[in-house]
C-alpha cells in the first residue's frame, strides 16, 4: 500500500519531508529558477538516497533535469507504463514489502 502526498509550494513540501521519508519524489515545474535549484538541494540534503524524478512538458527535459541535478525525468503527458518503469528501476514496484506497511510517494 502506498500513500501519496502532494504539496503545492516549497515550504509545505519541506515540512512533509521533515516528517517522513518517501520512497520516491516527483517534482513538476515549468522552468528552472534559483528557487527550484535551492528546493532540489534542500530535498537532497534531507533525503540524499531518495530518487527525484522531474515531470515536465518542456521541450528540453534532459537539460532541465541536469541543470537541477536530477537524473531522471518523465515527459508529460506520459503513459502509465513509463511511470511503472521508473518505479521498477528504483525497486518500488511491484511492492516487495509488507503490504500493510505504509509507503510514501511524494509529488511537488
Residue 25 burial (10 A CB sphere; 0-12, 13-18, 19+): buried
What CATH number does residue 74 fall under?
3.40.50.2300
Q: Could you list the residue range(s) of the whole structural domain that residue 49 is in?
A: 2-107
Give the total number of structural domains in the chain.
Answer: 1
Q: How far apart are CA 2 and CA 9, in angstroms?
A: 22
Q: What is the pLDDT of residue 47?
A: 94
Q: What is the pLDDT along the chain (108 residues), one digit of tens a residue?
A: 677 888 888 888 899 999 989 989 999 876 667 788 899 999 999 999 999 999 988 888 888 888 888 889 999 888 888 988 998 898 887 655 555 555 555 555
pTM above 0.85, yes or no: no
Q: How far apart are CA 31 and CA 102, in angstroms?
A: 33
Q: Give the cell for residue 76.
A: 508529460
Q: Give the cell for residue 24.
A: 520516491
Q: How far apart are CA 84 and CA 33, in angstroms?
A: 29
Amino acid at each position: 500500500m502506498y500513500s501519496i502526498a502532494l504539496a503545492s509550494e516549497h515550504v509545505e513540501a519541506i515540512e512533509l519531508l521533515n516528517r517522513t521519508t518517501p520512497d520516491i519524489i516527483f517534482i513538476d515545474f515549468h522552468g528552472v529558477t534559483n528557487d527550484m535549484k535551492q528546493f532540489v538541494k534542500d530535498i537532497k540534503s534531507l533525503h540524499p538516497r531518495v530518487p527525484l524524478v522531474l515531470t515536465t512538458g518542456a521541450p528540453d527535459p534532459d537539460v532541465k533535469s541536469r541543470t537541477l541535478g536530477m537524473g531522471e525525468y518523465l515527459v508529460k503527458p506520459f503513459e502509465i507504463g513509463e511511470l511503472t518503469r521508473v518505479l521498477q528501476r528504483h525497486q518500488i514496484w511491484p511492492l516487495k514489502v509488507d503490504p500493510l506497511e505504509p509507503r510514501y510517494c511524494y509529488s511537488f
